[in-house]
Amino acid sequence: MMDIALEDIEKIPAEDVFLLQGSTEGKAYWRYLRIEKRKKPLFEAALRNGGDIRPNDFGSVLYAGEGDEPPMAIQNLIKLHTGQTA
């Protein structure tokens, strides 16, 4: 289990965080992305158009892993980042 002090959690507006899920070569993955405000319209257009999305073209990857869903510990960290209640 990760031990992280609450004061060390960077606050991020919830509207800047996106969960991207997909698969490549038959393996499921998930990525929590922090999208730059100025690139958000481009990111949303890329989602609508389908195809490959390169997260670093739109912002940064906060957390990533394999599987269909992020682990609960990561989901809770995202809630801390965005100020949502766990």
pTM: 0.81
Rounded Cα gap, residues 4 and 17, in angstroms:
20
Residue 58 has a pLDDT of 94
Give 17-61 as a DSSP string.
Answer: EEEEEEEETTEEEEEEEEE-GGGHHHHHHHHHH-S---GGGTEEE
Q: What does the pLDDT read at residue 9?
A: 60
Contact 31, 61 (CB under 8 A): yes
Note down pLDDT in tens along the chain; length 86 residues: 455 445 556 788 899 999 999 988 999 999 999 999 999 999 999 999 987 788 899 999 999 999 999 999 999 989 988 887 65
**C-beta of residue 47 within 8 angstroms of C-beta of residue 53:** yes
